[in-house]
Amino acid sequence: MEDFPYDEYYSGFGSYEFNPGDEIDYLQGYCKEYPYFNDWVLEWYRVRQTYDMLNLKTNTVKHTLDVVDKYKKTHDFDNCAFILLNAKVMSNIYEARNSMKSDERAVWAMYMGILSIIGDKDFAQTTSDMIKCRMFGASNRKELDLLLKDKALKKVHDKYTSKYKYNKLLNIIQDRNMITEIGLKRRTYVSHKIKSVDGLVVAISAKEIESERRKQRNDEKTKARAKYYSLLQPKDESINIKAE
């Protein structure tokens, strides 16, 4: 950016308010010409805002981005399980990290694992096996098996995925109204938006009814198309040739 309008005298103020109009105009034009730069700026901003929210020193933002870039070269982040976590909740967990006992950590691990399955949907259909995978940061069983080569992690996994411990953790996050859960037709349905089991069942039923109607409509369209093309086919006509 050799032609960036640097303001060496900090004169970009009007009535004591910061007004970097020329700089913003330049950056907007630069971002249109070089979209990758726009992505870099947004990435830097998101990390900086997270640092600010957690009361961390923002002068290490570049270091964080460099570390992430380093690991991107050796890890497949595209298939990682991501979560949508309330900023206040994240801040509270961070502040309590040193005093949090192992059972409480397991509760939050299960909660975040379930959130990674739900994503931005109202609810999700899953299984207990998948929840156990996500509790330990794995996208699937194959990835979990690789992680469990670590003996210390395997010990924790075996403890908190036993039937007793698993159900206990699941009950805790339901008692705290963090997750709504119900088992139907050998599947587990979970939601963090819908706060009652009745509401979750209604949402599940509505989606299944909608899916069935869509399937029926598509079947009808398929049959109608077949009928349409069959009607367009020329009919066979017998031609009688009289022998002279």
Q: Where are the domains of the chain?
A: 1-59, 87-202
Q: What is the model's pLDDT at position 134?
A: 93
- Report which DSSP code applies to 111: H
How are the residues of the chain apportioned to helix, strand and coil, as percentages rounded to the nearest 5?
A: 60, 5, 30
* Residue 65, number of CB atoms within 10 A of its CB: 15
**Partners of 188 in the beta sheet?**
126, 183
Per DSSP, the chain holds a count of helices (H) and strands (E) of 10, 5
- pLDDT per residue of the chain (244 residues) written in tens, 0 to 9: 778 888 777 776 777 788 888 888 999 999 999 999 999 999 999 999 888 877 788 888 889 889 888 888 877 777 666 777 777 788 888 888 889 999 999 999 999 999 999 988 999 999 999 999 999 988 899 999 999 999 999 999 999 999 999 999 999 999 999 999 999 988 999 999 999 999 999 999 999 999 999 999 999 999 999 999 998 887 655 555 555 4
Long-range pairs for 134-143: beta carbons < 8 A, 24 or more residues apart: 134/81, 135/106, 135/109, 135/110, 135/160, 135/161, 136/109, 137/81, 138/81, 139/79, 139/80, 139/81
The count of C-alpha atoms lying within 13 angstroms of the C-alpha of 106, restricted to the half-sphere facing its C-beta, is 20
Give the separation between CA 7 and CA 19, rounded to whole angstroms.
Answer: 11
Nearest 10 degrees: Cα torsion 187, 192, 196, 200:
-40
Which tokens belong to 109? 């691990």
- Inter-axis angle of helices 151-160 and 163-175, to 10 degrees? 70
**Partners of 182 in the beta sheet?**
189
